[in-house]
Amino acid sequence: MAGDRRSPIDAIADRPYVLAMALLDIIVAPDPRLKRKCTPVTTVDAATARLMKDMLETMYDAPGVGLAAPQVGVLKRIIVVDTAREGETRRPLKMVNPEIVWTSDEQKPHEEGCLSLPDEYEMVTRPDRIRVKYVDETNTPQEIEADGLLAVAIQHEMDHLEGVLFVDHISTLKRNIILRRLTKQKKHGNRAVGE
């Protein structure tokens, strides 16, 4: 509904009869909404759990290995990640208020991309192993240790919660080239959500 200032999560709460998962629109950079910091979630309720399911469905459909709530217009500290490869059993993680409590000294470069920066990839160096505490979809505190692609995906999605994109970790020159290219694509018909 145009002019509705409530967040999508609030709108979902008003429609408990909506049972099917929904694909959400992914915001594409450059867009100022992707640069905003997110607020913590006070409790994981049915609307938050529904949002996480919809985010996972959207991520799988895109396809991607992670998605953060601000990428779908919800400025809450929520991410979903699944690094299972094609043909493997899915291993989704739904994380509310994730917090990195430890990182390894060892850093490794990985090629990163982002659903909000379609078809753009660059090498980003991050800690190779991390420990993260978070609240899951049942409002239960959890803590996991992750390495490799899972560690990269979690760190990448957590950056979104701070308004940071993977291109913020590369040179200004490369970042500007990528953002100009995305701006040009928007002007030629591949417009971002909400524009």
Active-site residue set:
157
Residue 90: other Cβ atoms inside 10 A:
9
**Best CA proximity match to 63, nearest among 23, 109, 36:** 23
Give 3-state DSSP helix, strand, coil % of the chain, rounded to 5. Answer: 35, 25, 40
For the domain 8-187, what is the CATH superfamily, name and number? Peptide deformylase (3.90.45.10)
At 80-138, the pLDDT tens digits run 999 999 889 999 999 999 999 999 999 999 999 999 999 999 999 999 999 999 999 99
pLDDT cut 90: percent of the chain above it: 81
In the chain, what are the domain boundaries?
Answer: 8-187
The average confidence (pLDDT) of the chain is 88
- pLDDT score for 187: 83
Global pTM reads 0.84
- Tens-place pLDDT, residues 17-75: 344 568 999 999 999 999 999 999 999 999 999 999 999 999 999 999 999 999 999 99
